[in-house]
């Protein structure tokens, strides 16, 4: 597939991901020489309504987002397939970096200071997205979707949130009714089919717990639906309590906004 030209403009460099009916490709824009990401959705007999809805939703959300630490919309086109079916292609900016997932796979355990730095940057981005009109909710925050640029050390890296393939844009006061996300990082209300802005906070908290312990949320013990991470990592009581509130299974006991969580984090010395 490398070297193939799509849309008479984008030269495929390599494939980043492949699921049934969906491909994610890294490509080069022959007009600008920029690297881009191509999200390809096949319009064939295997296409289901949810995939089509999420594809269109991601395109619309990218058009709305203008944050420096998220991907941006670059274009859209359709193309014919050798099977005589069609494919829809979403073009977005490519963000180079190292994912937290990659760091964790290499047995990296993040210190409290490093984890706090990741949390601070991620919450700042979420605060911006959650205060847009309409609100942008990521819905699938996890280690693979948080990038460090250029990579380690954390102290000199910039944080990016990527892969908005499950994003939801809401009008003020509304909630989303869709079951998407990844086991372990999925808050109880989202598992039940309801998502709010604070649902992103839980997913971020589960990711931070993994950074501290090196264990995924599904590997950590749980008690009363609460992730038990405190005994698996070194941290101050103040930060442990802050993170405990971030991953509260109860919406009412969770931090009520990214801004509130960020303000509380900045108060921890």
How far is residue 166's CA from residue 138's CA, in Å, rounded to a whole number? 7
> Which of 93, 117, 139 is the endpoint of a domain?
93
Catalytic residue set: 140
Are residues 77 and 109 both part of a single domain? no
Q: How many structural domains comprise the chain?
A: 2
Do 21 and 130 sit in the same domain of this protein? Answer: no
Neighbour count for residue 43 (Cβ, 10 Å): 14
Beta-carbon neighbour count of residue 213 at 10 Å? 22
pLDDT at residue 174 in the model: 46
Strands 22-29 and 10-19: antiparallel
CATH of the domain at 82: 3.30.200.20
Which among 153, 159, 122 is positioned nearest to 138, based on CA atoms? 122
Q: Which of 93, 113, 132 is the last residue of a domain?
A: 93
**Beta pairing partners, 89:** 40, 77
Q: What string of pLDDT tens digits covers the 269 residues of the chain?
A: 678 999 999 999 999 888 777 889 999 999 999 999 999 998 877 777 878 888 888 888 899 888 999 999 999 999 987 777 889 999 999 999 999 999 999 999 999 999 999 999 999 999 999 998 888 999 899 999 999 999 999 999 999 999 887 655 444 444 443 445 577 898 999 888 888 999 999 999 999 999 999 999 999 988 878 899 999 999 999 999 999 999 999 999 999 999 999 999 999 96
Pair (18, 124) in one structural domain: no
> Residue for token digits 């289901």?
48
DSSP secondary structure letters along 45-66:
TT--HHHHHHHHHHHHHHHH--
Residues 131 and 249 reside in one and the same domain: yes
Contact 62, 165 (CB under 8 A): no
CATH of the domain at 207: 1.10.510.10
The reply to whether 85 and 103 lie within a common domain is no
Judge contact between 126 and 200, C-beta under 8 A.
yes
- Provide the b/e sequence for 253-265 (b: ≥16 CB within 10 Å): ebbebbbbbbebb
CA distance 166 to 185: 14
Query: How far apart are alpha carbons 27 and 45 in whole angstroms?
Result: 27
Pair 52, 32 in one domain: yes
Contact of 204 with 122, CB cutoff 8 Å = yes
Prediction pTM value: 0.88
Residue 232 and residue 156 in one domain: yes
Contacts 24+ apart (CB under 8 A), 171-178: 171/133, 171/134, 171/135, 172/133, 172/134, 172/135, 176/137, 176/139
Residues 189 and 245 placed together within one structural domain of the fold: yes
Domain boundary pick from 93, 124, 154: 93
**Terminal alpha carbon distance of the chain:** 51
d(CA 57, CA 238): 39
Give the other-Cβ count within 10 Å of 141's Cβ: 26
Beta strand extents in 184-239 (DSSP E only) = 222-223, 226-227
- 27 and 127 share a domain? no
- Give which of 261, 257, 92 is closest to 164, Cα–Cα: 92
Domain that holds residue 105: 98-266
Shared domain for 86 and 126, answered yes or no, is no
Residues forming beta bridges with residue 75, ordered by sequence position: 91
Query: How much is the pLDDT for 166?
Result: 61
Same domain? For 63 and 140 the reply is no
What pLDDT is recorded for position 172?
44
Quick one: 22 and 104 in the same domain? Answer: no
């Amino acid at each position: 597939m490398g070297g193939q030209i799509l849309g008479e403009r984008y030269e495929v460099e390599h494939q980043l991901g492949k699921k049934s009916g969906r491909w994610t490709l890294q490509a080069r824009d022959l007009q600008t020489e920029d690297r881009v990401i191509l999200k390809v959705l096949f319009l064939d007999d295997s296409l289901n309504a949810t995939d089509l809805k999420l594809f269109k939703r991601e395109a619309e959300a990218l058009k709305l987002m203008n944050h420096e630490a998220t991907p941006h919309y670059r274009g859209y086109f359709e193309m014919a397939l050798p099977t005589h079916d069609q494919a829809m292609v979403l073009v977005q900016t490519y963000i180079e970096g190292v994912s937290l997932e990659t760091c964790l796979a290499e047995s990296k355990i993040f210190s409290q200071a490093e984890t706090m730095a990741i949390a601070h940057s991620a919450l700042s981005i979420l605060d911006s997205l959650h205060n847009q009109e309409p609100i942008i909710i990521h819905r699938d925050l996890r280690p693979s979707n948080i990038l460090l640029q250029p990579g380690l050390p954390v102290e000199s890296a910039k944080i990016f949130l990527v892969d908005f393939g499950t994003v939801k844009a809401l009008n003020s006061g509304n909630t989303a009714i869709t079951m998407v996300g990844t086991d372990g990082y999925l808050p109880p209300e989202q598992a039940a089919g309801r998502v709010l802005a604070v649902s992103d906070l839980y997913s971020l908290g589960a990711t931070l717990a993994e950074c501290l312990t090196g264990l995924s949320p599904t590997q950590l013990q749980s008690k009363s639906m609460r992730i038990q991470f405190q005994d698996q990592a070194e941290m101050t009581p103040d930060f442990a309590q802050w993170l405990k509130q971030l991953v509260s299974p109860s919406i009412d006991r969770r931090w009520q906004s990214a801004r509130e969580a960020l303000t509380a984090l900045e108060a921890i010395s």
